[in-house]
Amino acid sequence: MSSSAARPRLGLLRAIPSLMRVGFAEAVAYRAEFLVWILATNMPLIMLLLWSAVAKEAPVGRFGEAEFGAYFLATLIVRLVTSSWVIWDLNFEIRQGTIGMRLLRPLHPFVWYAAENLAALPMRAMVALPVAAIALLWLGAGQLNPDPVAWAIVPVALIGAWAMTFCAMAMIGSLGLLWESSLSVFQLWLGLYFVIGGYVLPLELLPDWLYAVVRWLPFRYLLSFPVETMLGLIDRREALGALAVQWGYAALFLAGALAVWRRGLARYSAFGG
């Protein structure tokens, strides 16, 4: 590799810490909105209460009250750690024309968005870690996967889930360069994520034919797969196979996001002072 080709990449690496600092400062500055978003992410707690009431009479599948509690608390933790909001930023900036400011910068806008999203991770962890501690104290360590190999997979699965979420949002958000609004498409995506992503019930409680289908759809790998690994609902062999599928989807969504972005940018025009 020539020194001239390596120089821009070194410049990118040097810029990322600065981008992270800016993103963290924004997360702190908008902490009130951030806390509102966290409080709105309470669906797993509602589902915990509903399914625990159902399981009080008799277990549902292999899920009793304790198992449902562990599942939905793990779901809440994964949701808090792996969420992204790039689609709302993209949609707003495309509609307002302020995306032009990002286009003038030497870094790809997706790098900026990714740094801003990741920089909020410490604030997310401040919320997720107490939930994890409470879950451990309440449910006991017996609900967690005892396999150390599985716990080595969990961080990679969480990063993969975040990467899938970010790239899928970037791809759908980039459609805003071609269409009037991309949010209607995202609403459809979000509905499928809730129903067949493991957000409102464990996927294995779905009918057998539907469970066989959703195991190959991307929504499982956004949320359910890390939860299944944390709780030992799948063995290490299945977890490794699922990890390969998850990262395959992440690469596919990244390629799709870049392709839609390039196509949309060729038709995009903005005016303003």
Residues 20-42 have pLDDT tens digits of 777 666 666 666 666 666 666 67
H/E stretch holding 231 reads helix 224-231
Averaged pLDDT score across all residues of the chain:
83
Residues 192-221 have pLDDT tens digits of 998 899 998 999 999 999 999 999 999 999
Report the pLDDT averaged over residues 78-106: 85
| pLDDT score recorded for residue 140 | 64
Which pLDDT band holds residue 182 (cuts at 50, 70, 90)? confident
**Closest to 171 (Cα-Cα) out of 98, 243, 91:** 91
| pLDDT score recorded for residue 273 | 47
Lowest mean pLDDT among 119-123, 150-154, 240-244: 119-123
Question: Does residue 1 have a pLDDT over 70?
Answer: no
What is residue 270's three-state secondary structure?
Answer: coil
204 DSSP 8-state letter: G
How far, in Å, CA of 150 to CA of 89, rounded? 35
Lowest mean pLDDT among 133-137, 207-211, 257-261: 133-137
Q: What angle do CA 249, 175, 252 make, to 5 degrees?
A: 15
Instruction: Write phi, then psi, for 63 (nearest 5 degrees).
Output: -105, 110
Instruction: Write phi, then psi, for 260 (nearest 5 degrees).
Output: -65, -40
Question: Does residue 245 have a pLDDT over 70?
Answer: yes
Report the pLDDT averaged over residues 93-100: 84
| pLDDT score recorded for residue 38 | 64
